Chain A
Amino acid sequence: MAEDLNWAIGGEAGDGIDSTGKIFAQALSRAGRHVFTSKDFASRIRGGYTAYKIRTSVDEVQSVVDRLDILVALTQRTIDENLDELHEGSAIIYDGERSWEANIPEEMTAVDVPLKSLAEEAGGAIMRNVVALGAACEITGFDVAYLDESLEKRFGGKGSKIVENNKAAARLGQEYVQENYDLSHLEYDLETTDADYVLLNGDEAIGMGALAAGCRFYAGYPITPATNVMEYLTGRIEEYGGHVVQAEDELSAINMALGAARAGARSMTATSGPGIDLMAETFGLVATSETPLVIVDVMRSGPSTGMPTKQEQGDLNMTLYGGHGEIPRFVVAPTTISECFWKTVEAFNYAEKYQTPVYLVADLALAVTEQTFPPEAFDMDDVEIDRGKLVDDDEVDEWLDSQGRFRAHAITDDGVSPRAIPGTIDGAHMSTGLEHDELGRRTEDQDERVQQVDKRNRKVETAKEREEWDYREFGNADADNLVVSWGSNEGALVEALDYLEEDGIDVRVISVPYIFPRPDLTEEIEASEETIVVECNATGQFADVIEHDALTRVKRINKYTGVRFKADELAAEITEKLTEEVSAQ
């Protein structure tokens, strides 16, 4: 297991917690250290506890743990909220000159730094968090110079004076601790490496994947935790001749995206639970009009408004079954932040090759987490673009009927019809949410109805044969017991393997990124004594489909507190499930 350090800054929303945390995370990344971040945040602009947590190691880190080593506490609540994670060796940085009296457990190291006063000395009280970062550098033996680069990145746009003031603030914090405390007993000494890493979150990876895949049109309505996709694309997509439009609601967003897709653009919308409910209205139209569209659902805790800033994987059924009638669709669920990029690229190809809606289902834990990767993890040379049966002026002729009319919904062996976009000569055609004939004209003829339904469903069958719907595998492939997961749980599960190994427990882990079509796990389940399905919801939506596929029963680990799985916690739960079985025998 990696020698890791767990650091956090916490305070009230509006205290600049997020940007301060990001500055430190970037500094660690620049120092060649891996970083995995998480956020505790509330759905409000000001007030309420919020924290930015960083786990860092020279080895790859891909989950959070129940341990906090260094805490910058701007409020007492920050300390209270994290008491379970703090330990004897923890150091807590706080400002003793502030009005609240810090109540810090005796066994921990209290580091009182006059954050505000030192910040004022450097040029302004606003920089008190940066003073705290300097103090944290001193405690962890991390060269304060690494902060400079991320301070430049964060404040460069505001002028060199601001940058210099911030650098000075960091040094004042560092020197204050150096001069006033002997913290050698803590024995923190952060190693650095020559590695160059990039640091990004899942929403950004989805946005970058869209740009790589040629997405040129994005329509959306702001909603936590998907807004970041839109914010990432805004200002970047224009460089490629594209456009982002903020619609009046999600009903409009998906219909605008649909319009752009019918006009031939690679088009996308992103939302979360309440927005996906509204968009469900248009799912059927996308499918029956055979329009290639990527619909991103960054899941958050539901139902209804639920817990908007909390983790959940509760929309599997919604994306798999949502919308009235029967809708051919693809549902793809990336399992890591880098996979958010690659699965987005794939989603655009599936959409155009099969002319269907493709749901890209991510979750809050992926969306708001920043993680380091070597840049090669996003090698743009590996991006392939397949536009399917998009026809040009010459190819249109093959698809005209005897009266010269374009057969936009032609019955074909693979179910995929030719696609002509406006401007293509002789390609003009109608499409509709009504059942239609090959020309896209309304029909209620029984034969034509059956032909069209079969044709649309045949596209899914074709895709099942043509594409690889594989899973990601970890642990011991020959182990007796199998743990299956989807979405962001993969990271915690992979790290849980280390804890399990320590206890002599051997499992095979299968992480599934394809929800529909999906790999058939029947053989794997039959080869295992016990199968456990892990997911962040209460009812076990993925476990249900796995049981249906394999015609068997599985065990379930469900978490719906609003907080993602942690590696150590997951290891304990898996152990418990497996022990249950032993005692039952």
Chain B
Amino acid sequence: MSSDVRFTDFKSDKQPTWCPGCGDFGTMNGMMKALAETGNDPDNTFVVAGIGCSGKIGTYMHSYALHGVHGRALPVGQGVKMSRPDVEVMVAGGDGDGYSIGAGHFVHAVRRNVDMSYVVMDNRIYGLTKGQASPTSRSDFETSTTPEGPKQPPVNPLALALASGATFIAQSFASDALRHQEIVEAAIEHDGFGFVNVFSPCVTFNDVDTYDYFRDTLVDLDEEGHDPNDYEAAKQVILDGEKEYQGVMYQDENSVPYHEQHGVTEDMSEIPDGAPEDAMDLVREFY
């Protein structure tokens, strides 16, 4: 990896079609800066994007990338990382992609603790389909498909991660650029599955969870003297129904990533020109 990688190297020449002011701009900038800061390079990085506004990120960034099927970004990312431990893998998606159609994969990706990062652009709304309730929408949030609100509690993705045995749980705010970048860097550097839920406001369809709302209410854990290695303290802030936080909520110091648990260390892309030398032994096993 070259040492002179700048964050703009991770930028493609495609202009984003996100609405002006969309939180995803800030989220993406922080991701690119974090990748560059942690010593990565586009040729050694694989970004997997989901479907939705957030999913477009693969197009606006420059790296090896796949923009896949709705909800399945995490399985793709895990497949890349398991077969190529030498590659930096970052999965990016939205709240619909990650907590609705892909919720099952989220739980199991967390459990596997593959050494990669997962950045969710959570705007608490379905933006690309023009404003329907998402799994993180408030229970009284009125939308075209939920005129009286979803009338069900929003998913708490942090709690879902905690309950699934996460080793790194964090939350950031797209507009607090430095903190966001710092938190994503910590997720990348974490030895295991680094999960960051990013408040990434939708300026077009969500008039509740706005920039102003987060600016006014968000509590920074760093200012609270929170110890991310303290599981009980993490549980408290994650399950706190009153306040919303940014920062690293939980990090397991003893995290053992998937490749260490399973001894998966080889670059699987390299294979011999024919059958392995001892392959007739495989046949002889059937004697």
Contact with A along B237-280 (1 / 0, CB 8 A): 00000000000000000000000001110111101111110011
Cβ < 8 Å to B, chain A residues 237-254: 238, 240-243, 245, 247-249, 251-253
Contacting residues, chain B, for A30 (C-beta < 8 A): 287
Contacting residues, chain A, for B48 (C-beta < 8 A): 259
Contacting residues, chain B, for A253 (C-beta < 8 A): 75
Question: Which residue of the partner chain A has the closest CB to B266?
Answer: A241
Contacting residues, chain B, for A289 (C-beta < 8 A): 66, 68
Please tell me if the beta carbons of B67 and A252 are within 8 angstroms of each other in the complex. Answer: no
Contact with B along A414-448 (1 / 0, CB 8 A): 00000001111111111111100000011000000
Binds B, one of A262-270, A450-458, A487-495: A262-270
Contact with B along A362-378 (1 / 0, CB 8 A): 00000000000001001
Measured in the bound complex, the distance between the Cα atoms of B83 and A281 in whole Å is 23
Contacting residues, chain A, for B194 (C-beta < 8 A): none
Q: List 8 A-B contacts (CB under 8 A).
A: A251-B71, A265-B84, A266-B268, A378-B283, A385-B272, A423-B84, A430-B59, A430-B66
Q: Residue A547 at the B interface, CB < 8 A?
A: no
Binds B, one of A6-14, A77-85, A197-205, A572-580: A197-205
A256-B76, A281-B72 given. 20 additional CB < 8 A pairs? A198-B287, A199-B287, A208-B282, A253-B75, A255-B72, A256-B79, A256-B82, A258-B76, A260-B79, A260-B84, A262-B66, A262-B80, A265-B83, A289-B68, A385-B271, A423-B84, A427-B43, A430-B65, A432-B67, A433-B68
Please tell me if the beta carbons of A252 and B75 are within 8 angstroms of each other in the complex. Answer: yes
- Which of A263, A378, A380 touches B269 (beta carbons < 8 Å)? A263
B140 to chain A, nearest CB (A): 32
Please tell me if the beta carbons of A256 and B75 are within 8 angstroms of each other in the complex. Answer: yes
A contacts with B: majority SS:
mixed
Measured in the bound complex, the distance between the Cα atoms of B14 and A166 in whole Å is 71
Please tell me if the beta carbons of B268 and A422 are within 8 angstroms of each other in the complex. Answer: no
A1 to chain B, nearest CB (A): 27
A241 to chain B, nearest CB (A): 4
A253 to chain B, nearest CB (A): 8
Please tell me if the beta carbons of A204 and B78 are within 8 angstroms of each other in the complex. Answer: no
Question: Which residue of the partner chain B has the closest CB to A249?
Answer: B104
Please tell me if the beta carbons of A432 and B59 are within 8 angstroms of each other in the complex. Answer: yes
B contacts with A: majority SS:
mixed
Q: Residue B138 at the A interface, CB < 8 A?
A: no
- Which of B42, B66, B276, B284 touches A259 (beta carbons < 8 Å)? B66
Q: Residue A320 at the B interface, CB < 8 A?
A: no
B92 to chain A, nearest CB (A): 13
Contact with A along B78-97 (1 / 0, CB 8 A): 11111110110000000000
B53 to chain A, nearest CB (A): 13
- Which of A261, A264, A427, A434 touches B67 (beta carbons < 8 Å)? A434
A355 to chain B, nearest CB (A): 14
Contacting residues, chain B, for A255 (C-beta < 8 A): 68-69, 72, 75-76, 79
Question: Which residue of the partner chain A has the closest CB to B73?
Answer: A255
Q: Residue B98 at the A interface, CB < 8 A?
A: no
Contacting residues, chain B, for A243 (C-beta < 8 A): 82-83, 262, 264, 268
Contacting residues, chain B, for A249 (C-beta < 8 A): 104
Please tell me if the beta carbons of A430 and B104 are within 8 angstroms of each other in the complex. Answer: no
Measured in the bound complex, the distance between the Cα atoms of B83 and A441 in whole Å is 25
Contacting residues, chain B, for A199 (C-beta < 8 A): 286-287
Please tell me if the beta carbons of B283 and A422 are within 8 angstroms of each other in the complex. Answer: no
Please tell me if the beta carbons of B274 and A211 are within 8 angstroms of each other in the complex. Answer: no
Please tell me if the beta carbons of B46 and A422 are within 8 angstroms of each other in the complex. Answer: yes
Given A289-B66, A385-B274, answer yes or no on A425-B75 (Cβ-Cβ < 8 Å).
no
Q: Residue B64 at the A interface, CB < 8 A?
A: yes
Question: Which residue of the partner chain B has the closest CB to A282?
Answer: B69
Question: Chain A: residues with CB nearer than 8 A to chain B?
Answer: 29-30, 196-200, 204, 208, 211-214, 216-217, 219, 236, 238, 240-243, 245, 247-249, 251-253, 255-267, 281-282, 285, 289, 375, 378, 380-381, 383-385, 403, 421-434, 441-442
Please tell me if the beta carbons of A426 and B79 are within 8 angstroms of each other in the complex. Answer: no
- Which of A240, A252, A264 touches B83 (beta carbons < 8 Å)? A264
A455 to chain B, nearest CB (A): 19
- Which of B43, B59, B74, B271 touches A425 (beta carbons < 8 Å)? B43
Contacting residues, chain B, for A426 (C-beta < 8 A): 43
Given A214-B272, A260-B79, A422-B87, answer yes or no on A430-B286 (Cβ-Cβ < 8 Å).
no
Contacting residues, chain B, for A241 (C-beta < 8 A): 266, 268
Contacting residues, chain B, for A258 (C-beta < 8 A): 66, 68, 76, 79
Question: Which residue of the partner chain B has the closest CB to A289?
Answer: B66
Contact with A along B34-50 (1 / 0, CB 8 A): 00000000111110100
Please tell me if the beta carbons of B65 and A431 are within 8 angstroms of each other in the complex. Answer: yes
Contact with A along B98-110 (1 / 0, CB 8 A): 0000001101100
A222 to chain B, nearest CB (A): 15
- Which of A212, A264, A422 touches B282 (beta carbons < 8 Å)? A212
Please tell me if the beta carbons of B78 and A256 are within 8 angstroms of each other in the complex. Answer: yes
Measured in the bound complex, the distance between the Cα atoms of B284 and A265 in whole Å is 26
Given A200-B286, A385-B272, answer yes or no on A247-B75 (Cβ-Cβ < 8 Å).
yes
Measured in the bound complex, the distance between the Cα atoms of B42 and A442 in whole Å is 19
Measured in the bound complex, the distance between the Cα atoms of B281 and A236 in whole Å is 11
Please tell me if the beta carbons of B264 and A433 are within 8 angstroms of each other in the complex. Answer: no
Measured in the bound complex, the distance between the Cα atoms of B114 and A148 in whole Å is 46
Question: Which residue of the partner chain A has the closest CB to B9?
Answer: A428
Contacting residues, chain A, for B190 (C-beta < 8 A): none
Given A208-B282, A208-B283, A248-B104, answer yes or no on A238-B69 (Cβ-Cβ < 8 Å).
no
Which of A30, A241, A255 has the most chain B CB atoms inside 10 A of its CB? A255
The 7 residue pairs across chains A and B that have the minimum distance between CB atoms: A259-B79, A264-B269, A214-B271, A241-B266, A255-B75, A256-B79, A198-B286
